[in-house]
Amino acid sequence: MPLKIPSPSGRDELKQMEAELTLRLQELNDVRECTKTSARTDVILSTSFWQDLAAQQQRQRLRSELERQTRPSPLTGLVSLSLVTGIYLCSRI
């Protein structure tokens, strides 16, 4: 069966269709690559964000713990004062 040679207008249509399909394929590939890159970037940014947040909270906990250890609790002072006052009052009776 001999090949049918398309007419000049048919060739133009095929070339236009080829160009459109090539462009569409490129757009689809770009979207797919962009999606992969964005997903990886989001994960990395997310991981970085959470690591920074965890480090910040750890520093805050350490600071609070250090303050608690270096300074007596107000409740400890009140308990001591009430015990001393109670002992003093009991000894006066």
The whole-number pLDDT of residue 13 equals 87
Predicted TM-score of the model (pTM) = 0.35
The whole-number pLDDT of residue 3 equals 56
| pLDDT, tens digit (0-9, with 9 covering 90-100), for 29-64 | 887 777 665 556 666 667 777 888 889 999 999 988
Structure token pair of residue 26: 């490129």
| pLDDT, tens digit (0-9, with 9 covering 90-100), for 7-31 | 667 788 888 999 999 998 898 888 7
Mean of pLDDT over the chain: 73
